[in-house]
Amino acid sequence: MRLKNRIAIVTGGSSGIGRGICLELARAGAKVAVADIQETPKIGKFHETEPQPPTAEVIVEEGGEALFVETDVADEKAVAALVERAVECFGGIDILVNNAGITIPGDSQELAVESWDRIIGVNLRSIFLATKFAVPQLKKSAAGRIVNIASVHAFAGGGGPAYAPAKAGVVNLTRDSAVELAGDNITVNTVCPGYIETPIQDYLTEEIIAQCRRDTPLPRLGLPRDIGRVVVFFASDDAEWVTGTALPVDGGWLAPIW
C-alpha cells in the first residue's frame, strides 16, 4: 500500500471532495483524521442525494483507522486543537490536506462583507492556520506532505469576488510554502478541481450544470474519487520530487482556447 501507516489530516472531510480524499488515502493505507464542522455528510440537491454514513465510520468498516474531529477551520484555536488531537491519537502527522472550502453566491454588490470574510477565512486563512500548526509535526516525518485544494477558478475570474481570489491565493500560498519548507524535505502542492459532483454545487441551476458538462471535454463530470486519487499521488513517494505545483484536475476544462 502506497501510504501504509502514514498519518493524514484532511479538512472538510465529511462530505464531497474531502470525503473522497479521506477514503482514497485510507484505501492506500493511511490513518486519517477527518476534520469538519459537522460529522454527518451533507445531502445535495443534484449530487450525493442519499444519506451516507460518516466518513470515519466507512474507513473503519473497510479495515482502516480514522477519527473525526469537529473543527471550524477558520478558528485558530480549533485548528491547533485538531493537530494536537491527531498527534495524540496517531502519534504524529505525515500528510496535511487542506481541503475545506465554501462558496456563497453573490457579486460585489450582493455579497455581504461578513460573507466575504467568511469565504476568505475558510478557503484561504484556514490553509495558513493548518500549515502553521502542522509543520512542526511534518518536520519530524520522513515524508512530509501538504496538499492544498484550490479550483480552476484560481486561474481566471468567475465564482464571485471572494471565492476566485481566495483560490488564487491558495495557489500562491502553496508556492511560498513549498519554497519555505523544501529544506525540511516537505513538499507542498495544489490540486485545482473542475466541476466535481458534490453538494457544494447546490447553488447552481440544472441549466448551468448542463453547460458545465458541455464545457468539460471529457465525457463526464468529475467525482470526489478523481481528486482523492491525485491527492494520494502527491502524498506518496512517487511525488517526492514534485513541489510548488498547481495541477488542474478538470476533465480538460481549462484546455480549450475559445
C-alpha span between 1 and 30 (Å, rounded): 9
Sheet holding 7-11, edge to edge: 66-70, 31-36, 7-11, 95-98, 145-149, 187-193, 246-249
Q: Which residue has the cell 502542522?
A: 134
Q: Residue type at 130?
A: A
- C-alpha grid cell, residue 10: 484532511
Q: Which residues are catalytic?
A: 163
CA-CA-CA-CA dihedral for 147, 149, 155, 158, to nearest 10: -170
C-alpha span between 95 and 72 (Å, rounded): 19
